[in-house]
Amino acid sequence: MPSRLGFQALRVLAIEDCTFMKDYAFHLENLGRLHQLRYLGLRETPISKLPKEIGELRFLQTIDLWECKNVEALPQSIILLRQLKCLRAGGAACKPISVPDGMGNLTSMEELWLRYVDKCPNFVQELGKLTELRNLNICIELPESWMCKTFVESLGNLQKIQVLSLHALNAKLSWEGYAHDLVTLGEFPELLRLERCGSDNDIPVVMGGNAFHKLRSCNMTAPLRFLPGAMPSLERLEFTVHVQPLKEANFDFDFGSLENLPCLREAVILTLTAAALLFTEIMLMSMNEQVS
């Protein structure tokens, strides 16, 4: 950034997927002078942090730091961005990222991607204040039982969620707790896609009633059994069956319950055995087809 900026009316700044020569520093010290900025795109760049002056950009609506592998923390001043609607930070190969206390102040947030959040116990409470969220993609460490419970309680406040991707690290959840959590998620009135909602348990959850009324796509790391009325709008399903634990529990998993999903078009089932990973893909072209 030049020290004397002539871009006072700049709305969009996208410096994305860039590499920089070794002798050229990547400076953002003057970013706070772009007072009209709405969009800041820095994904897949070598930056290590945002300047604290980021909090001066009161009209900023989007910050994209996705796959910025060197960013380990968001500045405290980010909680001043009351018009921020979209925040993406972290990524599959990124370092753990910490977020400041007070993230619940960002009440205009509609899309939040954080993978993964580390050592931020207050965040699980603050999350419940972001009631405008439509898209939540989060990987979070939940080493204590109270954090797991609070996290689920916070999710219960996000009634406008349409796309939900969850992954909890070190989560101390019993199977009974996991089943109760699915009941909470099943009551979301606008949820369209649910991804990677997992547990370490292997016994299927029975889904019934009008749970997940609008859900179109579901990707789970545990198997599900479907009673009539469950997920009535589901079109794509993916889950994993752990064969050995089911055998040890004398539990016969019934794939026939898929017939209770009237709109299902595609089911991808990963079958884990002690010897190998078996992959079965079942294409359902209509609700009247027999699943084999």
248-270 pLDDT per residue, tens: 656 666 678 888 999 999 988 87
What DSSP letter does each residue of 78-113 carry, written as one string? GGG-TT--EEEEE-TTPPPBB--TTGGG-TT--EEE
The whole-number pLDDT of residue 214 equals 94
Same domain? For 39 and 131 the reply is yes
- Structural domain containing residue 69: 1-172
The mean pLDDT value for 29-34 works out to 84
How far is Cα 110 from Cα 132, in angstroms, rounded to an integer? Answer: 5
What are the Cα distances from residue 135, in Å, to 14, 75, 161, 162, 194? 22, 22, 6, 6, 10
Q: Which of 160, 111, 170, 109 is nearest to 140 (CA)?
A: 170
Same domain? For 32 and 107 the reply is yes
Same domain? For 127 and 236 the reply is no
Q: Is residue 120 part of a domain?
A: yes
Q: Is residue 271 part of a domain?
A: yes
Amino acid at 158: L
**Bridge-based pairing state of the strands 266-272 and 236-242:** parallel
The whole-number pLDDT of residue 201 equals 53
Q: Is residue 253 part of a domain?
A: yes
pTM, rounded to two decimals = 0.85
Same domain? For 258 and 167 the reply is no
Q: Is residue 46 part of a domain?
A: yes
pLDDT band at 16 (very low <50, low <70, confident <90, very high): confident
Same domain? For 156 and 264 the reply is no
Q: Is residue 88 part of a domain?
A: yes
**What does the pLDDT look like over 55-94, one tens digit per residue?**
999 999 999 999 998 899 999 999 999 999 999 999 888 8
The mean pLDDT value for 171-194 works out to 75
Same domain? For 75 and 22 the reply is yes
Helix segments in 24-97, DSSP class H:
none
Instruction: Name the range with the highest mean pLDDT among 64-68, 142-146, 169-173, 218-222.
Output: 64-68
The mean pLDDT value for 38-64 works out to 93
Instruction: Please give the tally of structural domains in the chain.
Output: 2
276 contact partners, CB below 8 Å, separation of at least 6: none
Position 165 pLDDT exceeds 80: yes
